[in-house]
Each structure stands twice: as structure tokens, then as C-alpha cells.
Amino acid sequence: MVGSTRLPSRFTRRWALMALSAAGSQIVSGVALAQGARRTARIVVPFTAGSGSDSAARFFGEKLGPLIDQSVIVENKPGGNGLITIQAVKSAPPDGSTILLGNISLMAINPVVLKNPGYDPLGDFQPLSGLYRGPAIYCVPLESPYKTLEDLVVASRKTPVAMGNYSQGYQLAVDYLAKLASAKFVHVPYKGQAPLMADLMGNQVEAALLDFGGAVTTLKANKLRPLAITSDARHPAFPNVPTVRESGFGEYVHYSWVGLFVRRETPVQLTERMTEALQQILKTPDAQKFADSISGELMPLRPAEMRQFVTAEYERFRKVAAAAGIVPQ
């Protein structure tokens, strides 16, 4: 080629090796920087490991991580009516790396029953997405004289029935039924569903409102008598168990529910990215299998819909508490 100078082959090979080495170094540095930039997000859960909500956090967290290019871990902070969890998320930077697993108790009931909860569910937090909901079920011992929910209600009008429950949410749900049915129940508090079911099977308490997903195995083993389920339709696993509405209490529907939230100040581009990822997950067969495994239903509410839903739930419980004479403590 005119005007060109051909380099000796040994220089050509040396230059090529140097170029490859430099390129390799740049690639390695780029990977290292990318790995260093990869953040870890945490989902903070107000319950112990192994609970239904904890299982949900782990399932959705595992699916969410790859879609937002972050490792997602679950951090359990039980106790204090969920206030420990709330404060952990409120005090974290609003950068999307700390996510609240919010449920019916934290987002709709605490503000009703606690005098100074120290937070505003929708003033301090931004919904990312609803995840799932699950009904409850009214049950009695197998030896109970009550065959239907109506039997239980009619009897309670004469002599108050001892009703076991293990959460303020279920207490309000029972008060809701009492209001609609002019029934009279004496609340018997428990620390969890397991001891409550044990006492119910042992005839130590007359009736109970139980989490349906947590009671399915016991019910299938025919160790308790289900009277009515709180969902808006019968459950396919128990087609002979009527809903509370079918039992003559037309307005009554109650679900426990779970969603993900972040601090309200979190940048929109981050919240939108997580919302879209969660919506994508909720459409998968794996998500449906998870919901089926806990006898629940997927609740793919987007942020605006979730905000309206939480507001409606708060208003519902506020009215029930007022009617039942419950004073915030």
C-alpha cells in the first residue's frame, strides 16, 4: 500500500497482546463496578419467619430481585403491633432499598385501635402493589350444638358466646358480625392461631374466627366444624361451607390482605420500576401456585387502586370500632 510502513510481525503481535490485555482489564473493571453498584434491597416483615406473610415476602422478594437487578432479602421484625417494622422502614433512606410488607393490621387497623400509632399509613408510605388476600372462617368444636352460623348468632342473643381470636383485626371482624346480626360475643384473646385451634378442638372455647389458610389442614382432617367463610364466594375446597353473606348477613365480607409499600418520598422512577416488576410477577403461573398453596387469592392492585383500597378498609374498621364502642388505646 502506497505511503504505508509495515511493522515487523513481532511488534504486531506485541501490540495485539497489549490491546487484548487492556480490553480484558476494562471488562473486568466494568464487571467489578457493576457488581459493586448492585445494591441489596430488604423487605421488612412484622412477623416471625415461617408465617404466611413471611412466606409471601420470600416468594415475591426472590422473584423481584432479578427484575430490578438487586438482591432482595427478608428481614423479620415482629412485635409491638408492627410498630418496630414501621419505624425501621420510616427511618431508612427513601431510595427504594427498604420495602415494607404492609398488611391489614398495619395499614388499616392500627390507626383505628391505637391512640398514637406514630405513623400515617398513606401519608408516610407509598403503595407499590397489592399481593394477595385470604378469607377467615368461623368454626366451632365438633361436639358443639351449633350447626350453622345462624345457630351461633341466635344463641348469642340469649347468652353471650365466647369467641376466640388472636388479632385486633379478627376482633373487629367479629364485632362487625355482632353489629350486623345483633349478636353478643365475649372476646377471648390468644397469642396465635395454633393455641386457639388447640383449645377449640379441646372444647375450651365455644367458637373462633380463624385464618382460613392456616386452618385448612385441620378442617380437612375433620377436627373442627366450619360454620361460614368470610369470602364473597364459597371456597372450592369446601363447597358445602356457606359464606357469611349466604348465612343471612348480606353485607359481611372480610379478607386479610398483604401488599408492598415504600417511603412516600421514594423517587417515582424507582417506585414505577418496582410496581411494573411486581405486576409482571403477579401474572405468572408461579404466583398463582403460591396463592393456591396458602388458600388465598392474588390481589394485583396497582398503586392508585391500592391507595383507594386501604382507605376504604380504614373507613370500614373505623365505623365498626365506633359502633362497638372501641376506644383507641
Q: For 174-205, how does the pLDDT look when each residue is reduced to its tens digit (9 = 90+)? A: 999 999 999 999 999 998 888 999 999 999 99
Residues of the chain with CATH 3.40.190.150: 39-133+256-324
Q: Which tens digit of pLDDT belongs to each residue from 297-316?
A: 999 999 999 999 999 999 99
Query: Once rounded to an integer, what is the mean pLDDT over residues 3-29?
Result: 38
Q: Which tens digit of pLDDT belongs to each residue from 106-160?
A: 999 999 999 889 999 999 999 999 999 999 999 999 999 999 999 999 999 999 9
Query: Once rounded to an integer, what is the mean pLDDT over residues 236-242?
Result: 95
Please list the alpha-helical segments (H only) found in 38-167. 52-68, 83-90, 104, 110-113, 121-124, 149-158
Residues of the chain with CATH 3.40.190.10: 135-229
Q: How far are the Cα atoms of 39, 40, 133, 308, 318 from residue 108, in angstroms, in the given order?
A: 31, 29, 14, 12, 9
pLDDT in the model for residue 8: 41
CA–CA dist 278, 274 (Å, integer): 6
| CATH label, 39-133+256-324, candidates 3.40.190.150, 4.10.80.40, 3.90.580.10, 3.30.930.10 | 3.40.190.150
The residue among 272 and 32 whose pLDDT is bigger is 272
CA–CA dist 38, 172 (Å, integer): 43
pTM of the model: 0.83
- The residue with cell 391507595 is 307
Other beta carbons less than 10 A from residue 83's beta carbon? 18
pLDDT in the model for residue 38: 59
pLDDT in the model for residue 2: 35
CATH 3.40.190.10 is held by the domain 135-229: yes
